[in-house]
Amino acid sequence: MEKLRFAVIGTGFWANYQIPAWFEMDGVELVALYNRTKSKAEAVAGRFGVPRVYDNVEQLLDQERLDFVDIITDVDTHAPFVEMAARRGVGVICQKPMAPKLAVARQMVELCEQKGVPFFIHENWRWQSPIRKVKELLDAGVIGNVFKARVTFCSAFPVFDNQPFLRELEEFILTDIGSHILDVCRFLFGEASTLYCQTARVNPGIKGEDVANVLMKMKNGVSCFAEMSYASILEFEAFPQTFILVEGEKGSLHLTRDYEVRITERGGTKAVKAEPRMYDWLDPKYALVHSSIVDCNRDILNGLQGKGNAETTGKDNLETVRLVHAAYESARNNKVIDMASW
């Protein structure tokens, strides 16, 4: 099969891991980079051997023969870049969050559908190896019918050091880590019927909220509590691990520290490990996240090649975006949101 030619739009922090993740698989060829500061694109191009760089996206799209673009820029630029690519018939992969507003996200999905352009969101969190293991065990019925779950991401990791722009976001944790955590809830337990959220800002040096607690009743009856914080000073700093406790009629599953899933039934508890694959290019502090980028990219590539239906399409991720913005409305108005009518 001929390799799919693609360009990366945006050469900031995450591009340094997204690009080598693409290099872990056959079937793709990175031919160009864009960054508004051309010297930054040139530096990344030199590091990864990319032949051409641009500081104008439209020029890149007009001059390169591309099968898709991988957009790795700030959220406010996602919609215009997606539109530029879609109107030229170029497939699109976009980082999360898809868009700053729900209406804009809907427009992005609709435009790509109208143009017949494949559209994917790079939602890699659900591709973390321990989360995939939890899903595998749930699907196998190990603990029977699930009635309750808690998904936790609480940390004091200095996330603003690598991504200082996050300090300026009026809406922070629900759009940032919340996009991941709420997507994991959907991945494991399906869609939500109702949602209630409370938020807080603990760090005085940021504009948005850094704590959020979201209680959902899923359509299958599961009560799912998602808690997230970047203000939690805990005994063990486990960033970037997500902890998950699921209770079912036959027992419980507990994804706890260091990629261990503990399975408890009436007869006792056993544990299995689900460690991520360690690549030589990843940052050890982000190893779990960086490793999952490869599996997410591979799934999207299969979708682009027509080998199957990729999980994180724009249409699917729109449901995660709905949860994020429903959570903000719930927190603003202190009310339960009925997702069917919202």
Question: Residue 224 is which amino acid?
Answer: C
The number of helices, as runs of H, and strands, as runs of E, in the chain is 10, 15
Cα distances (Å, whole numbers) of residue 215 to 45, 53, 227: 44, 45, 9
- Cα angle value 83/86/90 (rounded, 5°): 135
- Cα angle value 215/221/227 (rounded, 5°): 20
pLDDT value of position 317: 98
- In angstroms, rounded to a whole number, what is the distance separating the alpha carbons of residues 67 and 152? 38
Between the two ends of the chain, the Cα-to-Cα distance in Å is 44
Name the residue with tokens 């599996």. 295
Taking alpha carbons only, the member of 189, 192, 195 closest to residue 219 is 192
- Cα angle value 115/118/124 (rounded, 5°): 145
Cα distances (Å, whole numbers) of residue 22 to 123, 126, 206, 295: 15, 18, 33, 10
- List of domains in the chain: 4-122 (3.40.50.720), 128-283+312-338 (3.30.360.10)
- In angstroms, rounded to a whole number, what is the distance separating the alpha carbons of residues 6 and 322? 29
Give SS3 for 207.
coil
DSSP 200-242: E---TT-SS-SEEEEEEEETTS-EEEEEEES----SS--TT--
Question: Residue 285 is which amino acid?
Answer: K
Whether the Cβ atoms of residue 185 and residue 174 lie closer than 8 Å to each other: no
Whether the Cβ atoms of residue 255 and residue 130 lie closer than 8 Å to each other: yes
pLDDT tens sequence for the chain (342 residues): 799 999 999 999 999 999 999 999 999 999 999 999 999 999 999 999 999 999 999 999 999 999 999 999 999 999 999 999 999 999 999 999 999 999 999 999 999 999 999 999 999 999 999 999 999 999 999 999 999 999 999 999 998 987 888 999 999 999 999 999 999 999 999 999 999 999 999 999 999 999 999 999 999 999 999 999 999 999 999 999 999 999 999 999 999 999 999 999 999 999 999 999 999 999 988 899 999 999 999 999 999 999 999 999 999 999 999 999 999 999 999 999 999 999
Taking alpha carbons only, the member of 63, 246, 232 closest to residue 150 is 246
Phi-psi region of 261 (alpha: psi -120 to 50; beta: other; left: phi over 0): beta
pTM comes to 0.96
